[in-house]
Structure 1
């Protein structure tokens, strides 16, 4: 195992079209000055998958000048153009197609994608929640199995793998439990996700052992209960340290959704309005729901 510390910037839910420009300029400066070993973006580059949003997102990502992998989020697949949604859903990613769901190989560490976004879900509409298909899980597990012995593994996905919401048993990510068990059985160090716009760092218990679940906040104006942020992940030896960096200098412990199990994570990015919904200690909840477009 190399003794060199690896630094990964974990960004998510940038939502071009409703991006926070000051936050993006800050992140851009951080990347340019600090030169992380890689940047992982866990989906929702855009707000409504419009061409102008993708154009802006792809331009911003291309100029980062560090290794980047990009997951597809539910906001990144067209809703208005159903033909393209069903037959060519990644077409608008063409400018960064080599980065989409790309595996990154770093010294003694591999970052491997897991697809959780689907074109349609007959069980529910509007198709915004997660689904780990058997094919997607098999591809990720095969990529993990192909790594040299001793390689540490981080998996990237858009949706947290919570399968059922705790308070009412609502279905969130289809096959989430199966996916968590499969990753835990491969001794994956952590799965990095987004979707809910608040950061977290939790341990899920599975039949195959524990699985660390790390979520990044948003870099958009659609905040839930924390200011715009990204995760800095530092890997040294057996240690993985997560810092939720933000422009308001809020401490990581106050940014993280803590004291909840993986089954009590929120369903989406909407601000908490009901008693018992998880809220980060900073409690930066907007008075009204954020705009959608």
Structure 2
């Protein structure tokens, strides 16, 4: 590749319960890095209301494309007839008709998974057919492409927070030599390395529901076996770089500063 692959990883926008300063400034901050792909890993709305989806659409249209977005638990209606009968209608109308979207750009093959079934609140699920889609889509990616998998729920979570279908998903990640697995949900930025796979959880980008950290997003650079994750935080003077994690994938080692 001629230049590093740059991926902007946003998550947990929660529009409807958002920080207006973060919403107003995030698109320009992301655009400044000229990403190859912008990924948003779920909870784009607070309560899956029509007005919230309209706000999300306006924000997504300001972000540099292509954009890959997946559903989170807050993007499904909470407790009305739509949750039972038509849980994804507003998502399909406003965001993407495909719940498991694929984006292919120069040097990148990316697959998003809809990990929020209508009947499972909070922890999420990945089905056997979705794991097969990982094998099919990322396994057949062009040689040299950065393989990216995105979903809302962190696949490395265990115990009571574990994703249903976690093992089948991680088996598919290993089989396809997926480079990056991107998630959200926790509102706490995190980077972990498992073998040659880098798992990145982005913080909440525009929500007021921060948990021990400011609004943030993750700037990911991939270049010749090295992955660098720069967590960008919103402060009084705008967005700034916070923690930086460098990973040499071939060695499976990482360092942070």
Fold shared, TM-score > 0.5 on shorter chain: yes
Give the root-mean-square deviation of aligned CA atoms. Answer: 2.1
What is the correspondence of 1:46-85 to structure 2 with a 5 Å cutoff?
46-82=45-81, 84-85=82-83
Corresponding position of 1:221: 208
User: For residues 160-214 of structure 1, what are the alpha-carbon distances to aligned partners after superposition, in whole Å with 9 as ceiling and x for unaligned?
Assistant: 013523xxxx25211212211220221111200000001100124xxxx553211
Cα distance change on mapping 1:150 and 1:73 into 2, 3 Å: same
Q: In structure 2, what is the equivalent of residue 130 of structure 1? A: 124
Distance in 1 of aligned mates of 2:2 and 2:224: 6
Query: Is 1:157 equivalent to 2:151 in the alignment?
Result: yes
User: What runs of 5+ residues in structure 1 fail to find an aligned partner?
Assistant: 122-126, 255-293
TM, length-normalised to structure 2: 0.85
Q: 1:163, 1:172 within 8 Å by CA — same for their partners in 2?
A: yes
* Mapping 1:17-96, distance limit 5 Å: 17-82=16-81, 84-93=82-91, 94-96=93-95
The answer on 1:235 being equivalent to 2:233 is no
The 5-angstrom pairing of residues 130-209 of structure 1 reads: 130-162=124-156, 164-165=158-159, 170=160, 172-204=162-194
Q: TM-score, normalised by structure 1?
A: 0.76
CA distance in 2, matches of 1:199, 1:40: 15
Cα distance between partner residues in 1 of 2:64 and 2:128: 34
Look at both structures and tell me which one has the larger radius of gyration over its CA atoms. Answer: 1
Deviations 1:112-166 (CA, angstroms, capped at 9, x unpaired):
1123211113xxxxx111211112211222111232233220100100013523x
Q: Residues of 2 paired with 1:132 and 1:174: CA distance?
A: 6
Q: Where do 5+ consecutive residues of structure 2 fail to align?
A: 246-257
User: Conserved in 2, the CA contact under 8 Å of 1:163 and 1:175?
Assistant: no
Q: Which has the higher strand share?
A: 2
Paired with 1:246 and 1:163, the residues of 2 have a C-alpha distance of: 24
Moved more, 143-152 or 20-29: 143-152
Residue 246 of structure 1: CA displacement? 0.8
1:129/1:172 contact within 8 Å kept: yes
Query: Across the two proteins, how many residue pairs are aligned to each other?
Result: 240
